[in-house]
């Protein structure tokens, strides 16, 4: 019985946490599908508009490269190029 109560409490907490998650709508432009399919597999897309005030073209190139080389994001070279181009055009400062 104790396990059932703990499981129910955990489920309730998880459900309320998910309900508070903000839905991020990125600018609709070429490459947005590559960003959505690759980037949000590891983290929220909220980082994109949040960091856009700090990153210029070189910054976005470095950010995409860091995700692949430092964090091991499984993004192929063609997708990485499309992601960087999208970010630079739509979220570069």
Which CATH class name applies to 24-91?
A: mainly alpha
In the chain, where the domains are located: 24-91
Question: What is the per-residue pLDDT for 4?
Answer: 52
Write the burial class of residue 75 (CB in 10 Å: 0-12 exposed, 13-18 middle, 19+ buried). buried
Question: What is the per-residue pLDDT for 22?
Answer: 76
Question: What is the per-residue pLDDT for 93?
Answer: 82
Question: What is the per-residue pLDDT for 2?
Answer: 64
Which stretches of the chain drop beneath a pLDDT of 50? 16
User: How far is the C-alpha of 69 from the C-alpha of 55, rounded, in Å?
Assistant: 19
């Amino acid at each position: 019985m104790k396990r059932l109560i703990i499981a129910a409490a955990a489920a309730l907490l998880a459900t309320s946490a998910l309900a508070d998650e903000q839905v991020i709508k990125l600018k609709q432009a070429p490459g947005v599908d590559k960003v959505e399919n690759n980037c949000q597999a590891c983290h929220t897309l909220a980082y994109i508009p949040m960091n856009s005030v700090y990153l210029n073209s070189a910054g976005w190139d470095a950010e995409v490269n860091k995700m692949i080389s430092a964090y091991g994001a499984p993004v192929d070279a063609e997708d990485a190029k499309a992601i960087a181009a999208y970010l630079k055009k739509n979220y570069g400062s």
